[in-house]
């Protein structure tokens, strides 16, 4: 049986591979779901040739922290503070979700990610009310062909209540395993919101299963649970911390030494009041963040926007610090556009435990690729391909490939029935929001 082979010609390619140029004119040969070769003048007589002259090809973006189940509530909490978000969404709304609500939000939310150039999602699904809710959420991701780590979680519960491991094992043995592009992780309450005993038990359960465990830390001094997990030796490269805000510098150093990754969601962290993103602290320790967009309830799901905001915010802090210490303006930027693009690709893959599969364009990696149309008026002339890719918006994302399969071509998703999906999403959102009481400012 012949395998699908595609030869991409004519583009400038940003491989994100350390030993290659930042951008280069190169061909990419895709064989089935993998990249077979990257270089000039590749010949493959049996391959379909796609001319991408005038485009920039980048690795598929990795949105490492997204609560995809909130897609139906898009923009409803744009003016909510963090306290209002927790009150209205988690206090008033989550219990009314049906499996159908989970399915349509995950389906359309993941489609939107593909449309924006994201090929891999860390789906932090902490509204799994039942096995049926979990299965519906997983099916939503699988249906549109996105690559995803389904991080199984539940609504907030008692600090002494452990993660439901029977459900984790059920998903491992069935629904997640059935889909080649999906892997399973655990969205834990974590040491900040669990008792020390429960935090250790949850971490140990994840380690025994070889699963990525991810948790929130959205401000406040570390609770005793952090020390308990550290003393048990359970922090590892399979540990991911979302936000990490207010973690002291010595804790950040300890966690990085253990291989822990961090995911910042700069637009939402700054807008809702989580606190200051820890990008600068990570960079000072020779590390880097991955990126997420967090909640469509409050901010757009465009990862390149998150990258630009994260870059500009940290540059602003660095410029201000330079003026305070020297009395003059800085001569060079503290962070480059390529670093920010790495946060959205290489670092995201690392955070989700997928660094051996995605995040770079090189032979043997999965064929997760994005073609940016650099001929568009808002990007032309593309003097700096890396900056041009970082400055792209949805309208510039011409084509998206996941595991060698086109999911978007000629600026359009290759998904039938989008109008019906949008109608179902609207119905779901309107019904769910009917349970949210108006705030004093909107009453």
- The class of domain 61-347 in CATH terms is alpha beta
Spatial separation of the C-alpha atoms in residues 275 and 267, rounded to whole Å = 11
pTM score, two decimals? 0.96
pLDDT bucket at 3, cuts 50 / 70 / 90: low
353: three-class secondary structure by DSSP:
coil
Q: Tell me what pLDDT residue 1 has.
A: 29
Residues across the chain:
443
For residues 144 and 174, the answer to whether their CB atoms sit within 8 Å is: no
pLDDT at 147 > cutoff 70: yes
Listed in order, the ranges of the chain carrying CATH 2.30.40.10 are: 5-59+359-410
- Phi/psi at 397 (5° precision): -80, 100
Is the bond preceding residue 305 a cis peptide, omega within 30 degrees? Answer: no
pLDDT at 264 > cutoff 60: yes
Label residue 416 exposed, middle or buried (CB < 10 Å: 0-12, 13-18, 19+): exposed
Helix or strand (DSSP H, E) at 109: helix 99-115
Closest CA to 163 of 122, 205, 130: 205
pLDDT at 380 > cutoff 50: yes
Helix or strand (DSSP H, E) at 319: helix 303-326
Spatial separation of the C-alpha atoms in residues 425 and 431, rounded to whole Å = 10
Residue with tokens 């190169």: 26
Label residue 54 exposed, middle or buried (CB < 10 Å: 0-12, 13-18, 19+): middle
Listed in order, the ranges of the chain carrying CATH 3.20.20.140 are: 61-347
For residue 121, the cross-strand partners are 63, 148
Q: Tell me what pLDDT residue 443 has.
A: 42
Spatial separation of the C-alpha atoms in residues 310 and 263, rounded to whole Å = 11
pLDDT at 177 > cutoff 90: no
Residue with tokens 């540990």: 239
Spatial separation of the C-alpha atoms in residues 421 and 105, rounded to whole Å = 10
pLDDT at 175 > cutoff 90: no
192: three-class secondary structure by DSSP:
helix
- Phi/psi at 413 (5° precision): -65, 140
Q: Tell me what pLDDT residue 174 has.
A: 87
- CATH superfamily, region 5-59+359-410: Urease, subunit C, domain 1 (2.30.40.10)
For residues 231 and 168, the answer to whether their CB atoms sit within 8 Å is: no
Q: Tell me what pLDDT residue 322 has.
A: 95
Instruction: Give the model confidence (pLDDT) of 19-35 as tens digits.
Output: 999 999 999 999 999 99
For residues 222 and 247, the answer to whether their CB atoms sit within 8 Å is: yes
| Mean pLDDT, rounded, of the chain | 95
- If one counts every other C-beta atom within 10 angstroms of the C-beta of residue 373, the result is 20
Q: List, in order, residues 6 or more apart from 299 with CB less than 8 Å away.
A: 78, 267, 268, 271, 293
> Mean pLDDT throughout 356-361?
98
For residues 438 and 104, which has the higher predicted lDDT (pLDDT)? 104
Tokens standing for 290?
């991955």
């Amino acid at each position: 049986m012949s395998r699908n082979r595609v030869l991409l010609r004519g583009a400038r390619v940003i491989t994100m591979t350390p030993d290659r140029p930042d951008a280069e004119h190169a061909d990419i040969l895709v064989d089935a779901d993998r990249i077979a070769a990257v270089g000039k003048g590749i010949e493959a007589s049996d391959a379909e040739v796609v001319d991408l002259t005038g485009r920039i090809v980048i690795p598929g973006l990795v949105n490492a922290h997204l609560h995809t189940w909130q897609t139906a509530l898009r923009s409803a909490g744009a003016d909510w503070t963090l306290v209002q978000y927790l009150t209205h969404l988690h206090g008033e709304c989550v219990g009314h979700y049906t499996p159908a609500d989970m399915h349509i939000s995950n389906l359309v939310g993941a489609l939107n990610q593909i449309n924006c150039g994201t090929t891999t999602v860390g789906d932090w699904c902490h509204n799994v009310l039942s096995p049926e809710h979990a299965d519906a959420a997983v099916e939503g991701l699988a249906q549109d062909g996105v690559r995803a780590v389904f991080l199984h979680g539940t609504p907030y519960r008692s600090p002494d209540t452990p993660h439901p491991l029977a459900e984790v094992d059920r998903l491992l043995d069935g629904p997640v395993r059935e889909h080649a592009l999906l892997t399973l992780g655990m969205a834990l309450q974590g040491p900040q919101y669990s008792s020390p005993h429960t935090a250790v038990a949850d971490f140990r359960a994840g380690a025994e299963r070889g699963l990525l465990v991810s948790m929130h830390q959205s401000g406040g001094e570390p609770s005793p649970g952090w020390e308990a997990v550290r003393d048990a030796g359970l922090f590892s490269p399979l540990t991911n911390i979302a936000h990490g805000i207010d973690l002291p510098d010595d804790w950040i150093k300890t966690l990085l030494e253990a291989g822990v990754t961090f995911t910042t969601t700069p637009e939402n962290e700054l807008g809702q009041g989580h606190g200051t993103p820890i990008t600068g602290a990570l960079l000072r320790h020779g590390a880097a963040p991955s990126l997420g967009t967090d909640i469509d309830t409050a901010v757009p799901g465009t990862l390149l926007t998150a990258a630009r905001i994260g870059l500009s915010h940290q540059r602003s802090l660095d410029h201000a610090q330079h003026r305070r210490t020297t009395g003059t303006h800085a001569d060079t930027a503290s962070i480059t556009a390529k670093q920010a693009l790495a946060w959205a690709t290489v670092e995201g893959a690392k955070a989700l435990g997928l660094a051996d599969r995605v995040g770079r364009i090189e032979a043997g990696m999965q064929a997760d690729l994005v073609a940016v149309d650099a001929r568009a008026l808002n990007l032309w002339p593309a003097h700096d391909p890396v900056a041009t890719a970082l400055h792209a918006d949805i309208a510039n994302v011409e084509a998206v490939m996941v595991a060698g399969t086109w999911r978007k071509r000629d600026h359009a998703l290759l998904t039938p029935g989008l109008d019906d999906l949008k109608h179902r999403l609207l119905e779901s959102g309107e019904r769910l929001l009917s349970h949210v009481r108006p705030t004093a400012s909107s009453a």
